[in-house]
Amino acid sequence: MHQIAPMSEDQAAIKAAVEKTLEPFGDEYWAKTDETGDWPEEFCDAMAAGGWLGIAFPEEYGGAGLGLTEAALMMQTVTRTGAGFSAASAIHLNIFGPKPLERFGNPEQKRENLPKIISGQEKMCFAVTEPNSGLDTSSLETKAERTNTGYTINGRKIWTTGAQRADKILIIARTTPKDQCAKPYLGLSLFYTDLDPNKIERQPIPKMGRKAVECNMLYIDGLEVPKDHLIGEEGGGFKVAMRVLDRGRLHLSALCVGIAERLIADSVAFASERRQFGKPIAEFQLIQAMIADSKTEALAARALMLETARKLDAGKNITLEAAAAKLFASEMVGRVADRAVQIFGGAGYVADHGIERFYRDVRIFRIYEGTSQIQQLVIARETLKNGG
């Protein structure tokens, strides 16, 4: 594969090792999970056994101590193999979701939970979005009311991934009424606590793609949370959540790049074999134009993703770059998937080649973790603030 920026030896070794881990999980495996909706437990166990869930966590907790650049390359490799968004989503929360715990948790919280998350023993979900707030996090209505021993949480959450199998929940809730806060985004707090199925009703939401990894509607009624399950300071949850979003957006751009690379490779292989009018369709200039456009856009998205990851690993703010990487990559992979279906023709519309599975899956990238329009607003705001 052509490289804009060559990988280091260590990064190339990571890519090869991840590919080795995924060898038992071919296209048939992922087609089956898409058909049944069953969570890819065997894949998750293999990734945990290989130590991949802790790639970007400190060694003292059982992690590899590497950066977000290596984590992004790993996730790009996962999606490029054909595992796609279902595989990436199945391990996403273990890799990026616990970052608030690592960065803002107290030493006891880290020692107790991070090693279990990295080993795959502890399974978590992240509950932020609500039915009436959407992307407006400052308008969250779920309440965490103080008690003698901690807090009681009541409310609703939506689009919570992996809640059916999770035993822990990272949840943001309002601890101070909005009308008592100087700014609307204040008064929100973040908790990492047990997911009590007797207090949280979990209803899967039928959806178009990524069928092996469910999203849920949560109804939270009287969830008791000890005070030492608060992450960071009370009222500081919004700031913590926003820092996680930058990393999540970077991560999603890596997933988009990996899927685009797989779609391009499949398109090239099909166009080289499929014959029409006595020759391979790869010899037709309009097919070549679609492949050229897809390749150019994928290379550009990859370069932006890697540059953003390196800037983050250097300790710099990436709010602007993460939004740009997510916007460009999510729009790019949608166009690449559409071109792939067009190159495959009728074969791209049926399940046999798997192209339609990718086509269904990638549509969510323009919505997930902030719509393309939200990314545009972030980019504009940061650009105006920085003077260009």
Which sequence positions are flagged as catalytic? Answer: 369
Nearest Cα neighbor of 144 from 107, 183, 199 is 199
Burial label, 171 (beta-carbon count in 10 A; 0-12, 13-18, 19+): buried
CA-CA distances (angstroms) from residue 60 to 57, 113, 197, 278, 303?
9, 12, 32, 62, 32
Q: What distance in Å separates the CA atoms of residue 93 and residue 383, rounded to the nearest whole number?
A: 30
**DSSP 3-state of 121:** coil
What is the dihedral angle through the alpha carbons of 218, 326, 120, 167, rounded to the nearest 10 degrees? -10
17: its two tokens: 């090792």
Q: Directed axis angle between helix 319-344 and helix 372-386, to 10°?
A: 140
Question: 84-95 and 355-362 are packed helices; what angle lies between their axes, rounded to 10 degrees?
Answer: 40
Helices 285-313 and 68-78: angle between axes, nearest 10 degrees? 150
